[in-house]
Amino acid sequence: MTKRVIEMPDLGMGTFRLEGKTAYESVKMALEVGFRHIDTAQIYGNEEQVGQAIKDSNIPRDELFITTKVWNNKLNKNDFIASVEKSLEKLQVDSVDLLLVHWPAPSNNEPMSEYLTELLKAKKLGLTKHIGVSNFTIANLKEAMQTLDSREIFTNQVEVHPYLTNTKLRAFCAQHDIHVTAYMPFVVGKVLNDQTIIDIANKHDATPAQVVIAWENANGMTTIPSSTKRKNLEDNFNDKVKLDDEDIARIDGLDCNDRQASPDFAPQWDQ
């Protein structure tokens, strides 16, 4: 099987927990620095600010890759498409590049076949170029593939970082040519203070953040770190670090299953 070519930039700007003016300014700065991949979601409550920052940047739409995600209370045939249209209105675009189901956790226990059928419908209606999932386990993906051809699942956006390498899930995704997008790469800043990461950063005359991003990319993943500071955005965007096999092995060895995102509606995670 020929591996799918992913046109999504391997580095994006995440907007989780960014609100109001902070969200607007952060996205505006990220676009000025050179980011062209912006990730948001209905539940973040910042699609309007993200959309305004994108509009004010005057960057041609075809140079941008925009992702948003449908929330749990819209995972039904009555609300799904209308919610996507509302997201597009807030983002001030005719379509997004990638639309994800945020969690396999519908508020009213709708079957996965229902909301994935609606997800595919959104693509057929031209509301999104690609479709995918987020926070799906191996079991979730197996169920999803009963409704969607695996080639339709553009990515699975999940938590992956040096403290949670998620190896089994990543291997399953690779087996089915499902790209992995890694969120929370810095473990809410914790991994940036790890001595192993710092040592590798010193070796490459780089920042710890650059090392973590390089590790994500070396493992074939896209990642979407977030920052509100221009200097950090500039550092994150600088892809000068090329890790060697020893570096990667040392970082792999930091895995300690330190998961950050596990709400009460989360699925049974792969171990």
The answer to whether 26 touches 32, Cβ cutoff 8 Å, is no
For the segment 194-219, the average pLDDT, to the nearest whole number, is 98
For the segment 129-150, the average pLDDT, to the nearest whole number, is 97
Q: What is the pLDDT of residue 5?
A: 58
Q: What is the pLDDT of residue 4?
A: 57
pLDDT digits (tens, 9 = 90+) for 1-19: 455 556 899 999 999 999 9
Q: What is the pLDDT of residue 16?
A: 97
The answer to whether 221 touches 182, Cβ cutoff 8 Å, is yes
Q: What is the pLDDT of residue 3?
A: 55
State which H helix or E strand residue 68 sits in.
strand 65-70
Whether 179 has a binding-site annotation, put simply, is no
Class of domain 13-186+220-226: alpha beta
pLDDT digits (tens, 9 = 90+) for 76-132: 999 999 999 999 999 999 999 999 999 999 999 999 999 999 999 999 999 999 999
Given 3-state DSSP classes, what are the helix, strand and coil percentages for the chain, each rounded to the nearest 5?
45, 15, 40
From the list 44, 115, 163, 183, the catalytic residue is 44
pLDDT digits (tens, 9 = 90+) for 54-77: 999 999 999 999 999 999 999 999
Its pTM stands at 0.96
The answer to whether 37 touches 12, Cβ cutoff 8 Å, is yes
Burial class (CB in 10 A: 0-12, 13-18, 19+), 191: buried
Residue 266 has pLDDT above 50, yes or no: yes
Strands (E), 124-262: 128-134, 153-159, 179-183, 222-223
Q: What is the pLDDT of residue 7?
A: 84
For the segment 234-246, the average pLDDT, to the nearest whole number, is 96
Q: What is the pLDDT of residue 87?
A: 98
Closest CA to 233 of 212, 206, 211, 210: 210
Q: Is 24 a catalytic residue?
A: no
Summary mean pLDDT of the chain: 96
Task: Map out the domains of the chain as residue ranges.
Answer: 13-186+220-226
DSSP 265: T
231: its two tokens: 């200097």
